[in-house]
Amino acid sequence: MQQTEFLVEKWLIYLFIYLFKHFYFFIVWECTINLCANVIKFHFLLKTWI
């Protein structure tokens, strides 16, 4: 009984790490795209104002 509990715990930790890695990459990617989009928008705004 304890053996299966240990396996389930191990599997959950593995799943958590796997999801965390993927979501972390996704969040960083999203932030990078948003940041680039904002910089480009800001650049165009400056160009139109100047």
Residues in the chain: 50
For residue 44, the model assigns a pLDDT of: 87
Per-residue pLDDT of the chain (50 residues; tens, 9 = 90+): 577 888 889 999 999 999 888 888 888 989 999 999 999 888 888 888 76
3-state class (DSSP) for residue 43: helix
For residue 12, the model assigns a pLDDT of: 92
CB burial string 9-36: b at 16+ within 10 A, e below: eeeeeeeeeeeeeeeeeeeeeeeeeeee
For residue 37, the model assigns a pLDDT of: 92
For residue 1, the model assigns a pLDDT of: 58
For residue 47, the model assigns a pLDDT of: 83
Q: Which two tokens stand for residue 31?
A: 């932030």
